[in-house]
Structure 1
Amino acid sequence: MSLETPTHAAVATHLPLVLVLDDDPAIRQLLTDYLGDNELRVHAVATGAALDLALARDPADLLILDLRLPGEDGLAIARRLRASSAIPILMLTGRAEEADRVMGLELGADDYLTKPFSPRELLARIRALLRRAQLQASVADAMARIRAYRFGPWELNVGLRRLKAADGRQVELTNGEFSLLAAFLSAPQRILTRDQLLELSRLHNAEVYDRSIDVQILRLRRKVEADPARPTYIRTERGSGYFFDAAVEAVR
């Protein structure tokens, strides 16, 4: 079976497509077989040039990228991909390559795994990245088409970034508070982890950090909840994150 062409051709094309770039034939074969057996389409290549051809022919949903490659290395590839693409990138590195891992993450890679790795852990990380990318895409698409959100007695004007009560009262929101509230309203009744809230907040160009999520949510509750000590909108799911527990109307 050729490693330079898509495998499992009989699998429905709606399944996520994972590109693998690694110069080790054994790694390419392992990932092609294992991921292909777990409801993923796989296209494995050995060089950056072959990767470019594959992306031009069939845009992928995720890239598994080995950092140590002959010729154009993985860091250079990650750098140029990030200049024009938001494809999730999962790096494969050696255990002693901490500096490369840090540089890869700074260049925009989304996750990394060290060799030798567990295929089961790799699959779990791939699925997590795909879920995150799908959520971001759906929220970004919704936000581009939505003028405002309504919930309870409140309306959040997305374009003006204003929160208004039914009696006409305006409530001031910081950039971080607006971004978190918009993230909740774009995905109501769904548990959102802190990482997901961080990623969704970045869609609104907000400087929100992991350590400030809980503080921002506390402040939001004081502004939108009748009793912040017993919130009915922004609920805590212990051990998982938060969810917005209310019907939300999107105004287009």
Structure 2
Amino acid sequence: MTQAPLICVIEDEQDLAQLLDDYLSANGYRTLQFHTGDGAEAWLMENQADLILLDLMLPGVDGLQICKNQLNRNATPIIMMTAKVEEIDRLLGLELGADDYICKPYSPREVVARVKAVLRRSHSEAVASPEGKSSISLDEHRQELILFGKTVELTAIEFKLFALLYSQPGRIFSRQYILDNIYQDYRVVSDRTVDSHIKKLRKKLVTSAQDIELIRSVYGSGYKFETP
């Protein structure tokens, strides 16, 4: 029998963590609570959850550092939680690659809904490989890109960007289209954020693709994927 998804709740307010735990459990999820960043970091170094609910302000290792560390370990979906609306720009500006964010105070039902939505995306079927590009393997379930036999380590945002461009080779995707379809709330990001993510993605691809340029800039229009 398949186990229910394991949700890691990293929240220093113990009453709030327990409230989220209760709602998640009632909706069929397994849960694990951590009230300090140090404890969560130690567990995540040796184990893997299906999704992480991560508070920004934590004693010990803070949420930003845990998010950075986790994205270097694996592609576990992360939903950031913060009581400071002004921190959202900082979260996105730091390009951590979290899958979603929630502002406090929030409804536990909203959190459960966000968890369900993010898990649906992360467990969707593998992206089909366009005909004639067997040198590229893209698996959305694992958030894994294999390019010319090499695994390319991508953040969650970088993976989504590549999957979008790769889905329609030759099509020019405008920055606005990318904002609307990649970022959870495009109103708090800018064209410069898109350009920065694209720049980092292209650098990783060129390194693994033997200097072949797969993503091209189209001046004044946007970006496109070109078949190698």
TM-score, normalised to structure 1, is 0.52
Cα pair 1:90 1:109 within 8 Å, conserved: yes
Q: 1:42 corresponds to which residue? A: 31
Q: Does 1:103 align with 2:93?
A: no
2:52 matched residue in structure 1: 63
* Count of equivalent residues: 158
**Partner SS state of residue 83, structure 1:** helix
User: Aligned partner of 2:133: which letter?
Assistant: V
Looking at structure 2, the residues matched to 120 and 207 of structure 1 have their Cα atoms a distance apart, in angstroms, of 42
Residue of structure 2 equivalent to 1:93? 82
Q: Distance in 1 between matches of 2:164 and 2:45?
A: 39
Q: Which residue of 1 aligns with 2:210?
A: none
Structure 2 counterpart of 1:116: 105
After superposition, where does 1:139-154 map in structure 2 within 5 Å?
A: 139=127, 143=129
Are the equivalent residues in 1 in contact too, given 2:10–2:35 (CA < 8 A)? yes
Instruction: Provide closer, same or farther for how the CA distance between residues 78 and 207 of structure 1 changes in structure 2, counting only shifts above 3 A.
Output: farther
SS in structure 2 of the partner of residue 26 of structure 1: helix
Q: CA RMSD in A?
A: 3.6
- Counterparts of 1:28 and 1:178, CA distance in 2: 38
**In structure 1, distance between residues paired with 2:164 and 2:49:** 34
Are 1:180 and 2:167 counterparts?
yes
Distance 2:46 2:163 in 1: 39
Partner of 1:4: none
**Structure 2: how far apart are the matches of 1:62 and 1:46?**
16
Highest Rg: 1 or 2? 1
SS in structure 1 of the partner of residue 126 of structure 2: helix
Deviation (angstroms), 1:62: 0.6
Tell me how far 1:107 sits from its aligned partner.
Answer: 1.3
**Identity rate, percent:** 37
Give the TM-score of the pair, scaled to structure 2: 0.57
Task: Assess, with a 3 A threshold, how the Cα gap between structure 1 residues 177 and 124 changes in structure 2: closer, same or farther.
Answer: closer
Distance 2:118 2:164 in 1: 25
Deviation of residue 81 (structure 1)?
Answer: 1.6
Cα deviation for residue 177 of structure 1 reads 8.9
Decide whether the 8 Å contact of 1:176 with 1:207 is kept in 2. Answer: no
The aligned residue for residue 9 of structure 1 is: none
The aligned residue for residue 170 of structure 1 is none
Q: Unaligned regions of 5+ residues in structure 2, if any? A: 137-161, 170-179, 184-200, 206-213
Contact 2:77 2:98 survives alignment (8 Å) = yes
Evaluate the alpha carbon distance shift between residue 66 and residue 108 of structure 1 in structure 2; reply closer, same or farther with a 3 A threshold.
same
For structure 1, the 5+ residue unaligned runs are 1-11, 144-148, 150-155, 162-174, 183-192, 197-201, 217-252
Distance 1:123 1:34 in 2: 7
* 1:27 partner amino acid: L
Residue of structure 1 equivalent to 2:18: 29
Deviation at 1:58, TM superposition (A): 3.9
Distance 1:108 1:178 in 2: 18
Task: Give 1:68 deviation, angstroms.
Answer: 1.0
Name which of 130, 134, 140 aligns with 1:159: 134
SS at match of 1:52: helix
